[in-house]
């Protein structure tokens, strides 16, 4: 991923409406994003593009995602 694209993604993870989502996405981005495959990185970008409550309900197990690519990222996020 190009530096500009990564920094843009970082901003969209670190400045959310909900603190829970700020912390979860930023931590994952800093600690695990680099080791993901291109396809997994794309799935993370899609997850980060979702509404705050939708992201948090997935991470906290209060909702389930039907897209297996995003589900697998959520599973990694919950373990991070």
Asked whether position 51 contacts another protein by CB under 8 A, the answer is: yes
CA–CA distance, 5 with 47 (Å, rounded to integer): 16
Asked whether position 64 contacts another protein by CB under 8 A, the answer is: no
Contact by Cβ (8 Å): 33, 76: no
Task: Tell me the site size for another protein, rule CB under 8 A.
Answer: 26
Nearest CA-CA partner of 9 in 38, 30, 35, 36: 30
Asked whether position 60 contacts another protein by CB under 8 A, the answer is: yes
CA–CA distance, 58 with 77 (Å, rounded to integer): 10
Binding region for another protein (CB under 8 A) out of 8-16, 30-38, 39-47, 66-74? 8-16
- Contacting positions for another protein (CB under 8 A): 3-4, 7-8, 10-12, 14-20, 22-24, 26, 51-53, 59-62, 78
């Amino acid at each position: 991923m190009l530096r500009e694209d990564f920094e843009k993604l970082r901003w969209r993870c670190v400045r959310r409406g909900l603190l829970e989502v700020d912390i979860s996405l930023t931590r994952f981005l800093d600690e695990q994003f680099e080791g993901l495959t291109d396809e997994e990185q794309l799935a993370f970008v899609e997850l980060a593009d979702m509404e705050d409550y939708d992201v948090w309900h997935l991470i906290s197990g209060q909702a389930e995602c039907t897209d297996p690519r995003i589900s697998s990222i959520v599973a990694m996020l919950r373990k991070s």
